[in-house]
Chain A
Amino acid sequence: MAASRKLMSIRRDWRERDVRVVLAALMIAVATVATIALFASQLQRTLVTSASSFLAADRQLEAENGRPIPERWLDEARNRQLETGEMVEFSTMVFGADNFQLVAIKAVSNEYPLRGQIEYQREPGQPRELVSQGPAPGEVWINPRLLRLLDIEVGDSLEVGNLQLTVSGLLVREPDGGFRLSALAPRVMMHVDDVQATEVIQEGSRVEFVYLFAGEEASLESYYQWLEPQLEPSHEWEGVRDGETFSRSLQRAESFLLLGGSLAVMLAAVAVAVASRQYALSQRDTVALLKTLGVRSRGIGNLYLKRLGLWGLAGAAGGLAIALPLYWLMSRILSDVLEREVDYQLDPAALAPALLTALVALFAFAYPPIRRLRNVPAMRVLRSQPGESGREALPDMVIAVLAVFGLVWMYAGDVSLVLALLGGLALLLGTLALLGWLMVLSLRKISGGGNAWRLALVGLYRHRRASLSQMAVFAMTLMLAATLILVRTSLLADWQAQLPEDTPNHFLINIAPDMVDDIDDFWQERGQPLDTLYPMVRGRLTGLNGDPVREAVTKDEGVGALNRELNLTWMDSLPADNEIVEGEWFAPDQTTGVSVEAELAGRLGLQVGDRLTFTIGSEKVTEPITSIRTVQWDSMKPNFYMAFPPGGGLEAMPATWITSFYLPGANKSALNEFSRQYPTVSVLEIDHIIQRIQDIVQQVTQAIEAILALILAAALVVMAAVVSATLRDRQREGALLRTLGGRQSLLVRSTMLEFALLGLFAGILGVVAAEAAVWALQFRMFEGQFQWHWAVVLPIPVFSAIVLALFGRWQLRPVLSVSPMLLLRRLE
């Protein structure tokens, strides 16, 4: 019975326009935030899985010390419901019938790959197949180039150490085909169980044991917690996020989704706040009446609390009813784009912010004005109601705004984001206050004279209170939308710049010094000029300021780099994408000094002026650090930790040369000719990887566009809600102006002008505040890569002026279609 009465009361409420607006705003709020959050969490999972296949797992543990890890580490992982796999990587000579060749062996267990698939070909010319398992024991798959280099065919046998193995297929692409310069020779893939029998691996040989892990994110995390204290410096735990090549793109996509979600939270809060506050103010008369009828203050408070609660439920239910099918649709589209199934999962962490946002905004903005009314004496309540003064409402507003920002914080978990948005908002409101003051000063003198412009300006002045608060909401909405547009634009531009169409997709390695010119000519003739050729010397960093480096470097994390051979080079000019952060680049005829990559310098605690000693073969070279520079690791060009000046001590060392270049798919056959002519040069083909990255960027771009569209739609709805908040007053005014003899065209023009001015000012304010917020954001979230995009944001004020003018026109519609008499009767 009671429940049905409550339903009845909701149904009765529904007949009130203000209530309908509140409920609609609630539903839209819940729907937008929930859809974006669900989709973002979906996309994140999808991205992580896509990216995981770059590791062939979710995590890798590399042992660079040449020893396997204890078996119980793997047992522990399996106990924690993680899948595991093993790989052993080493270089060795393999022998065909007549020829031999240095190859990079990758021996894999049955489980490899845990993520992604191997692309494999049974015979040259046969279709490529995707398989989820490597070669069986006794078999090997080889890089197609080896067929030529060894002069063998599929089915022949191959000698690896003491073991004869059968070539049973061609390895076209491995899922974890990231490139390491240590693995340059052609690839041979075999089964891990055969490694022992080859007897290639002896104490002290260079071999890397790699372990693969996959499973739930939480289990992986807790496993790492368990594992970390036992790891030695030579162990390296790698996740997708730590990888160098793709992490930046992914992190930015995630940041964008978070930002999009946060903006959705704020927009939703604005919509609900505007609507519910409007409702609360319109309820003042009702509250007054109830008080004169003898209902006690507490009773009134409870009545409204209950009502708001009911609406919260109704709005949440309605919002979810919109969000879930929408999300379903988006995940369908995503799975079409990706050409694979994606799971439809209702992540509670994604739903919570949606519901909380709606409720917080509802109660924080609707209840305080009603509650305050309880304190008004009944006598005063009886008299006509002066509108609530801003001063009374201010503390509540501040609390409510803080609550909303708290929500954003909870949602994004990023203080700097909250601060940037809050700062932008403060700037916006400050400017608005100034603008309001100027408006009052300058418009006061204008009095209308039958012309649309003057009437519009008079209108702005007369409605200054409503105009300013509407402008605040419009400007805020536009600021949020503009922020997102700005971030999206520079995000996409950045990605485009990072991997342009002609990104180098082949490396040539191991070029003997006397071949450099010939090879340069070879590719020049075929219209595929090489990028800069760099000499490369492999050496270890062994001394720092005269002390052995192991003692001198105290930072634990640095030690990993010391175990590895570093690629050293010499160059006369700084590569275009490198940047000096400390010290100075070599002077033209300088032959001493060394330039160190910034991250490594940071890890080892190196400073300009420190003297580094490198051990190269049996030689030692000592140079002072003269500069520290950043490197674009994902540029797909040769990058070096250590660069020496030409003519320095390094030039005496045995060097090979390295370069990268862009070779379009259509010209791939030139590679065969090249390999035949220069069999000792290694070719590293990374065109597949680049294609993958470009595909992912494409997908993420589409997702970002979808989210942007959703946010913009939400922004439009908020603006419509705000406009409709004063709908009744505006219509009454329109009706009255008509009875007083205002021509329709005059009415239309002045109203549209007034709204257009409102929109223009709000747009300008919003754009300026957005630039400020983005300026603040650029420091943290997006690594300072931002430029000002005035061309992108300038259309926004124009757009908002037009949209608002149309809203204004739309408002007048009933005023124009009905006789003034009927209109006044209706608006009574």
Chain B
Amino acid sequence: MLKVSNLTHQVSLETDTLTILQGVSLEINRGESVAIVGRSGSGKTTLLGLLAGLDTPTEGTVELDGAVISKLSEDERAKLRAQRVGFVFQSFQLLPALTALENVMLPLELGGVESPGKKARELLERVGLGERLNHTPRQLSGGEQQRVAIARAFASDPVVLFADEPTGNLDNRTGQAVSDLLMALNREQGTTLVMVTHDERLARRCARQFNIEAGVLSEPNVQRVAEPVS
């Protein structure tokens, strides 16, 4: 499903080049759930972006559902994203001028779905925002915005969902609900789930966990990661 080999990502700054990811390789099967943990600045968001085809790596390949992302044209990548990929951003990335409903409708409209409003409403109801359809992001709390972002990511029925700290801004109870939502999707619809999280409990619910440190990925054994929460 997702096959990454020897991925290296560098950005050139004014004076030198910064290596953000180095020799990352991994393989994720269809329907798996995967958690990536690591310190702030270790390269998690960068890796997720590369996996989702939002960026192209400096070296190495990402193969998503049989297609090598770096070999696709920009429009083919867009098509791939539209049809197979959902993404929940760390900073939500909702459009401030649009209502919650309109934000969720966006990917549906792009995909040419006939009645985008209906499906978007259903999704928002599912994340518990059925009463807030016509509120703009500014009128929503951080957690509510997070849920709108998740609803949007699910809108296009993705094969694989990338979530960058999906519970980062939520209190325990809401965080739990969002985790349940994600896991349920993974279970019921077989959506592959790749998420970055600091939430140990959520990480433990995933089938596999990866650790990233200074751009180097490792997969420690399950027992070591699953230490009790303090």
A interface residues (Cβ-Cβ under 8 A, vs B): 384-387, 447-451, 454-455, 458, 462-463, 465-466, 729, 732-733, 736-746, 819-822, 824, 828
Give CA–CA (A450, B108) in the complex, Å: 8
Give CA–CA (A387, B138) in the complex, Å: 9
Give the chain B neighbours of A463 by CB distance below 8 A: 97
Name the one of B54, B79, B85, B97 contacting A462, with C-beta atoms under 8 angstroms: B97
Closest B residue to A465 using CB positions: B97
Given A732-B95, A736-B93, decide whether A447 and B112 contact each other with a Cβ distance below 8 A.
Answer: no
Q: Would you list 18 pairs from A and B whose C-beta atoms are within 8 A, ordered by A residue?
A: A386-B139, A447-B115, A447-B116, A448-B109, A448-B116, A449-B112, A449-B113, A455-B109, A737-B110, A739-B87, A740-B156, A741-B81, A741-B107, A744-B78, A746-B110, A819-B54, A819-B55, A824-B93
**Chain B contact residues: over half helix, strand or loop, or mixed?**
helix
Give CA–CA (A732, B74) in the complex, Å: 18
Q: A448-B116, A740-B152, A740-B156 are in contact. List 9 more A-B contacts (CB 8 A).
A: A447-B109, A447-B117, A454-B109, A729-B96, A739-B54, A740-B81, A742-B78, A744-B74, A821-B55
Give the chain B neighbours of A386 by CB distance below 8 A: 138-139
Give CA–CA (A387, B139) in the complex, Å: 11
Given A447-B109, A740-B106, A742-B110, decide whether A820 and B91 contact each other with a Cβ distance below 8 A.
Answer: no
Name the one of B55, B83, B102, B112 contacting A820, with C-beta atoms under 8 angstroms: B55
Give CA–CA (A451, B113) in the complex, Å: 11
**Chain A contact residues: over half helix, strand or loop, or mixed?**
helix
Q: Is the CB of B138 within 8 A of A740?
A: no
Q: Is the CB of A450 within 8 A of B112?
A: yes
Interface string of B104-144 (1 = CB under 8 A from A): 01110111111111000000000000000000001100000
Give the chain B neighbours of A822 by CB distance below 8 A: 55
Give the chain B neighbours of A384 by CB distance below 8 A: 138-139
Does B82 interact with chain A (Cβ within 8 Å)? Answer: yes
Q: Is the CB of A450 within 8 A of B109?
A: yes
Give CA–CA (A738, B49) in the complex, Å: 13
Q: Is the CB of A821 within 8 A of B85?
A: no
Which residue, A385, A451, A462, has most C-beta atoms of chain B within 10 A? Answer: A462
Give the chain B neighbours of A450 by CB distance below 8 A: 109-113
Name the one of B75, B102, B139 contacting A744, with C-beta atoms under 8 angstroms: B75
Interface string of B185-226 (1 = CB under 8 A from A): 000000000000000000000000000000000000000000
Closest B residue to A746 using CB positions: B110
- B169 nearest CB across to chain A (Å): 13
Interface string of B68-98 (1 = CB under 8 A from A): 0000001100111111010101010101111
**Cross-chain pair count, CB within 8 angstroms:** 96
Q: State the 4 A-B residue pairs at the shortest beta-carbon distance, nearest first.
A: A741-B82, A450-B112, A448-B109, A821-B55
Give CA–CA (A463, B56) in the complex, Å: 32
Give the chain A neighbours of B109 by CB distance below 8 A: 447-450, 454-455, 458
Give the chain A neighbours of B106 by CB distance below 8 A: 736-737, 740
Give CA–CA (A454, B114) in the complex, Å: 12
Closest B residue to A816 using CB positions: B74
Given A447-B116, A740-B81, decide whether A745 and B75 contact each other with a Cβ distance below 8 A.
Answer: yes
Q: Is the CB of B156 within 8 A of A466?
A: no
Name the one of A447, A458, A741, A824 contacting B89, with C-beta atoms under 8 angstroms: A824
Give the chain A neighbours of B156 by CB distance below 8 A: 740-741
Which residue, A449, A465, A466, A828, has most C-beta atoms of chain B within 10 A? Answer: A449
Q: Is the CB of B93 within 8 A of A462?
A: no
Q: Is the CB of A740 within 8 A of B107?
A: yes
Q: Is the CB of A743 within 8 A of B78?
A: yes
Closest B residue to A463 using CB positions: B97
Q: Is the CB of B95 within 8 A of A733?
A: yes
Give CA–CA (A454, B112) in the complex, Å: 10
Given A736-B95, A741-B81, decide whether A451 and B112 contact each other with a Cβ distance below 8 A.
Answer: yes
Give CA–CA (A385, B105) in the complex, Å: 24
Given A462-B98, A743-B78, A743-B79, decide whether A449 and B114 contact each other with a Cβ distance below 8 A.
Answer: yes
Give the chain B neighbours of A737 by CB distance below 8 A: 106, 110
Given A447-B117, A741-B107, decide whether A385 and B55 contact each other with a Cβ distance below 8 A.
Answer: no
- B162 nearest CB across to chain A (Å): 10
- A639 nearest CB across to chain B (Å): 66
Which residue, A465, A466, A729, A738, has most C-beta atoms of chain B within 10 A? Answer: A738
Q: Is the CB of B138 within 8 A of A385?
A: yes
Give CA–CA (A387, B81) in the complex, Å: 33
Q: Is the CB of A819 within 8 A of B56?
A: yes
Q: Is the CB of B93 within 8 A of A741?
A: no
Closest A residue to B103 using CB positions: A736
Give CA–CA (A739, B112) in the complex, Å: 16
Give CA–CA (A447, B101) in the complex, Å: 12
- B160 nearest CB across to chain A (Å): 13
Which residue, A729, A737, A742, has most C-beta atoms of chain B within 10 A? Answer: A742
Q: Is the CB of A821 within 8 A of B111?
A: no
Name the one of B55, B91, B152 contacting A828, with C-beta atoms under 8 angstroms: B91
Q: Is the CB of A742 within 8 A of B74?
A: no
Give CA–CA (A454, B113) in the complex, Å: 12
Give CA–CA (A741, B97) in the complex, Å: 20
Give CA–CA (A701, B105) in the complex, Å: 56
Give CA–CA (A522, B66) in the complex, Å: 99
Name the one of A451, A454, A742, A824 contacting B82, with C-beta atoms under 8 angstroms: A742
Q: Is the CB of B110 within 8 A of A740?
A: yes
Q: Is the CB of A466 within 8 A of B97?
A: yes
Give the chain B neighbours of A385 by CB distance below 8 A: 138
Give the chain A neighbours of B139 by CB distance below 8 A: 384, 386
Give the chain A neighbours of B107 by CB distance below 8 A: 740-741
Give CA–CA (A458, B56) in the complex, Å: 31
Q: Is the CB of B110 within 8 A of A447?
A: no
Give the chain A neighbours of B74 by CB distance below 8 A: 744
- B81 nearest CB across to chain A (Å): 4
Closest B residue to A450 using CB positions: B112
Give the chain A neighbours of B115 by CB distance below 8 A: 447
Q: Is the CB of B49 within 8 A of A821?
A: yes
Closest A residue to B84 using CB positions: A741
Which residue, A458, A462, A740, A819, has most C-beta atoms of chain B within 10 A? Answer: A740
Give CA–CA (A387, B137) in the complex, Å: 12
Give CA–CA (A466, B156) in the complex, Å: 29
Given A821-B49, A824-B93, A828-B91, decide whether A741 and B110 contact each other with a Cβ distance below 8 A.
Answer: yes
- B65 nearest CB across to chain A (Å): 14
- B129 nearest CB across to chain A (Å): 17
Give CA–CA (A821, B93) in the complex, Å: 12
Q: Is the CB of B102 within 8 A of A462?
A: yes
Give CA–CA (A744, B187) in the complex, Å: 34
- B99 nearest CB across to chain A (Å): 9
Give CA–CA (A332, B106) in the complex, Å: 57
Give CA–CA (A269, B185) in the complex, Å: 56
Give the chain A neighbours of B85 by CB distance below 8 A: 741
Give the chain B neighbours of A447 by CB distance below 8 A: 105, 109, 115-117
Give the chain A neighbours of B114 by CB distance below 8 A: 449
Closest A residue to B112 using CB positions: A450
Closest B residue to A740 using CB positions: B107
